[in-house]
A and B are shown apart, each in its own frame.
Chain A
Amino acid sequence: MPRFSSEKDLESYRHKVAAGRAPDRRAVAVCAGTGCKAFGSAKLLPVFEAELAKASLKGKIELRATGCHGFCERGPLVLIFPAGRLYTKVKPEDVPEIVREDLAGGRVVERLLYRDPVSGKAYEKEEDIPFYMHQQRLVLKNNGLLDPASLDDYLALGGYRALAKAFAMGPEKVLEEVKKSGLRGRGGAGFWTGRKWEICRAAPGPDKVIICNADEGDPGAFMDRSVIEGNPHSVLEGMLIGAFAIGASTGCVYIRQEYPLAVERLGRAVAAAREAGLLGENILGSGFAFDLRIYRGGGAFVCGEESAMIASIEGRRGVPRRRPPYPAQSGLWGRPTNINNVETWANVPWIIDRGADWYRAIGTEKSTGTKIFSLVGKVNNTGLVEVPMGISLRQIVFDIGGGIPGGKKFKAVQTGGPSGGCLPASKLDIPVDFDTLVREGAMMGSGGMIVMDESTCMVDVARYFLNFLKFESCGNCTSCRDGLYQLHRLFTDIAEGRGSEHTLELVEELARTVKATSLCALGSTAVNPVESTLKYFREEILAHVRDRRCPAKVCKALITYTINDKCNGCTLCAKRCPQQAITGTVKKLHVIDQKKCIKCGICLDVCKQDAVWVE
């Protein structure tokens, strides 16, 4: 890798790399994201290598390990270029067939194609699969196309062109462009990124710092991880452009320890950028100097909060402090500091490269661009989805997610991570943008999206999130620490049949104070799951407290299992009951001893006669 000392250097090298890569060249891309790796995708590469050699295709077909494609659930994924054909759940024993049939013979291996779980229809091309078809991929666009370990790959796709352009524009123009783009922070509150940069730029103090927030503490979220794993240079380029606009010479990436692959790939990207002169002194001959360090966090949720993160980087206990002063006034090591989320940074090169007007055209007026969601729960297609802002929840859940499995009914979608809110079916048509979600009692958060079906109990859901949040509360302030503890306890009372309408009054009173007086946003947003549940699913909660009934049949204390006369006396349930609570002889009606029953549900699962009844 040469060291670029000017934009001209960079461009001539890019030409050289691109010239060797005809757009229609043949390639096999094996996903090496964490999800596919967990399914064993790493084992595919050596087999492909051997099989390609055997078929004398070595050198004619490029073999590539790429970042996450977002459809992890169907992994390991293999993409065949230039056709764009997607094979799912590929095992090492499938590889010879792919090489023989597809690569050598030009025949599609039907059995490995994605099949729609509902219609059964098989799809050949990745882009035609409903999961992908309704997405608009920008930040994730190049994830499947490049090898994250290769700076050449990134350069061939236009990488660091935006940086060179930014240097030519000068910091003020870059700042204006980002402001004009309407970009808002993807990490939580949706603050205007350009405005934030401007405040930090204007703050007195020569030694400014920028931080990339890669703590990603929401359970089940993995968009930031996938961006870093799949396209680490895009984050670096965004940070470089931001640092230039703000006038910062130091950068930090705060990334959680539990992301070893992301840490490794980012570390490699940083080393490669340094070697190429894209980090360090006098970058591309612009006179601008910038370098960054990677800090690994211990995985505390609260350390994603900016002031706690700063404390953690400084080597103190990760506890938030009151803002103001904001990081832009006094942040890391007392210096003016600008913090943005991974996805926010990764949007920046697009804005500078294509221009604010192009970017603004995506999304809505006040929420521009795309947003990556991690779509999980009771939905047919789970994974990472990147959609234009303003798309409806229904499109995400039904068109992209393929609806609810098992013919069950949709009940709620929880957006915004643990401190987001649960929206009911009546809100399925609202546009997904920062302000609408907040108005409806949920939030964008960093992009968690959990789909729930009719078998989900909303008391149970609220209790689950409260449990997470009380556990993750730093414990510093009374309202958050003890308020959440008590809220969780009250919801446990409701779930276990000890609740009354007085319990609900206490819940509402506590929630108000926790929201109004907690020191940081962990506490003040922690009541969202409670408040949205009270707002949209009040009847269900009342059923718990008034009638001691759990309509979704989830809360164990409020349900009973009985066996009805459909029982043909097969004895299966009695054999499998871990409590020996079921009695009955062969071909006779069985009975559950309610005193012994622990409501584990095994009898319900094993009964073939549909004779176990839950009430």
Chain B
Amino acid sequence: MAIRIFIDEQEVKAEPGESVLMVARRAGFDIPALCYHEAVESIGACRLCLVEVRSGARPGISTSCNMKAEDGLRISTDSPEIRRDRATNLELLLLRAPGSPVLRELAARWGVRPRLQPPPDAGIANCILCELCVRVCAALGHNALAAVGRGEKKRVGPAFGKPAEGCVGCGACLSVCPTRCIVMKDTPAARTIWGQSFEFHRCQVCGQPVITEKHRAFAIAKRGLPEDYYDVCEPCKQSQASQRFASVVW
């Protein structure tokens, strides 16, 4: 059953319980968000996706990523307060991640220049502690990453600071990282990430790396794939298929 919410006075359809941020984005509203990913639960870490609630018992500024759509909800996506608070939070994040292109672009757009001293490094340069890597890693079933510590001493990384057993070197953490701060190095032979090295499984046709051996073993066991599933890389599989197709047609 679809419900209606009102974003900047515009009526928008939504499913009950959907993230307000997702609904707004689908309808074309531009709300900045760094720690949101629709595949994982929102934790409201970055505090940039601010909107102002104008209905219900608790009006006021709130994050939208972890706000659930309810029938009749009214929000606005822009106001002097929202802009001011977003800018301040961006400034705080920029102090942690001065090298992040995404943050710098936002800062340039909103005219934010850091006036404060950067906090102590979170162990990884440019990390904004949003835990997207942790959440995605857990959602994929690896549970190799965790957040530890409180306050400005919070860190994310392999639990207990040791190379994590669950890590398969899939690199999903980096692919969702908003500041691209996770260090991953690929050589033709192996991938290095989070202090571990993972050998590649190579394509039997072209010899290019397909997947790390450990990831391959995990995926085959977990998803019940045939043993030879990763023996040929996607591009080669495609060209093999088109060759087969050609030989049948002609």
A-side residues, CB < 8 A to B, are 300, 302, 317, 319, 321-322, 324-325, 470-479, 481-486, 489-490, 506, 509-510, 512-513, 516-519
- The answer on a CB contact under 8 Å between B150 and A482 is no
| The one of B47, B62, B84 that contacts A477, using a Cβ cutoff of 8 Å | B47
B154 touches A475 (CB 8 A): yes
Q: Which residues of A contact B66 (CB under 8 A)?
A: 321-322
Measured between C-beta atoms, what is the minimum distance from A471 to chain B in Å? Answer: 5
A510 contacts across to B, CB distance below 8 A: 88
Query: B113 at the A/B interface (Cβ < 8 Å)?
Result: no
| Interface residue? B44 (CB, 8 A) | yes
Asked whether, in the complex, the Cβ of A517 is within 8 Å of the Cβ of B45, the reply is no
**B75 is an interface residue with CB less than 8 A from chain A:** no
- Chain A residues, CB < 8 A from B131: 476
| Interfacial chain B residues near A484, Cβ < 8 Å | 151
CA distance A98 to B95 in the complex (A): 66
Contact A482 B45 (CB under 8 A): no
Q: Give 15 new A-B contacts, CB below 8 A, not counting A475-B150, A477-B44, A479-B47.
A: A321-B43, A322-B44, A325-B68, A470-B152, A473-B152, A474-B154, A476-B43, A478-B128, A481-B152, A482-B96, A482-B119, A506-B115, A509-B84, A517-B47, A519-B47
B150 and A513 form a contact (CB under 8 A): no
Any A CB within 8 A of the CB of B50: yes
Contact with A along B32-64 (1 / 0, CB 8 A): 000000000001111100100000000011110
Helix, strand, loop or mixed for chain A's interface? Answer: helix
The total of Cβ contacts below 8 Å across the A-B interface reads 103
Report whether B81 and A519 are in contact in the complex, using a CB–CB cutoff of 8 Å. Answer: no
Residues of chain B lying within 8 A (CB to CB) of residue A473: 150-152
Output the nearest chain B residue to A318 by Cβ-Cβ distance: B150
The 4 closest A-B pairs by CB, nearest first: A475-B154, A513-B88, A482-B92, A485-B152
Task: Report how far A516 CA is from B44 CA in the complex, Å.
Answer: 14
Task: Decide: A483 and B147 in contact? CB cutoff 8 A.
Answer: no
CA distance A509 to B116 in the complex (A): 12
Contacts A300-B150, A322-B66, A519-B63; A475 near B129 (Cβ below 8 A)? yes
Q: Is B153 an interface residue (CB 8 A)?
A: yes
Of B85, B93, B116, B149, the residue contacting A513 (CB under 8 A) is B85
17 examples of A-B residue contacts, CB within 8 angstroms: A322-B62, A470-B152, A472-B150, A473-B150, A475-B153, A475-B154, A476-B44, A477-B47, A478-B92, A485-B151, A486-B116, A490-B116, A512-B84, A513-B88, A516-B60, A516-B81, A519-B44
A487: nearest chain-B partner, CB-CB: B116
The answer to whether B45 and A476 touch across the interface, beta carbons within 8 angstroms, is: yes
Check: B89 CB closer than 8 A to any chain A CB. yes
Bound complex: CA of A509 vs CA of B81, how far in Å?
11
Please list the residues of chain B having a beta carbon within 8 angstroms of any beta carbon in chain A: 43-47, 50, 60-63, 66-68, 81, 84-85, 88-89, 92-93, 95-96, 115-117, 119, 128-129, 131, 147, 149-154
* Min C-beta distance of B181 to chain A, whole Å: 15
Query: Per a CB cutoff under 8 Å, which of B60, B115, B117, B151 touches A481?
Result: B151
Kindly report which residue of chain A lies nearest to residue B93, judged by CB atoms.
A478
CB distance from B193 to the nearest CB of A (A): 23
Q: Measured between alpha carbons, how far is A479 from B86 in the docked complex, in Å? A: 10
**What chain A residues lie within 8 Å of B95 (beta carbons)?**
482
Instruction: List A contacts of B154 (CB < 8 A).
Output: 474-476, 481
Contact of B88 among A324, A470, A474, A509 (CB under 8 A): A509
Q: List the B residue with the shortest CB-CB distance to A473.
A: B151
Q: How far is the CB of A418 from chain B (nearest CB, A)?
A: 13
**A475 and B149 within 8 A (CB):** yes
Q: Please name all residues of chain B whose beta carbon is closer than 8 Å to the beta carbon of A475 when the two chains form the complex.
A: 129, 147, 149-154
Closest to A322 in B: B66
Interchain CA distance A489-B118 in the complex, whole Å: 10
In the assembled complex, the Cα of A513 lies from the Cα of B66 at a distance in Å of 19
Report whether B128 and A317 are in contact in the complex, using a CB–CB cutoff of 8 Å: no
Q: Decide yes or no: A478 and B150 within 8 Å by CB, A489-B116, A517-B89 being known contacts.
A: no
Output the least CB separation between B152 and chain A (Å): 4
A516 in contact with B119 (CB, 8 Å): no
List A contacts of B96 (CB < 8 A). Answer: 482
The docked-state distance in angstroms from the alpha carbon of A481 to that of B47 is 11
List chain B residues, Cβ under 8 A from A474. 150-151, 154
**Bound-complex Cα distance A290 to B181 (A):** 51
CB distance from A319 to the nearest CB of B (A): 8
Chain A residues, Cβ within 8 Å of B46 = 477-478
Q: Write the nearest CB–CB distance from B231 to chain A, whole angstroms.
A: 40
In angstroms, Cα B152 to Cα A477, docked, is 10
A residues within 8 A CB of B117?
Answer: 486, 489
Contacts of B147 in A (CB 8 A): 317, 475
A residues in contact with B153, CB < 8 Å: 475
In the bound complex, do residue A479 and residue B89 qualify as a contact, i.e. CB atoms below 8 Å apart? yes
Chain B residues positioned under 8 Å from A471 (CB to CB): 150-151
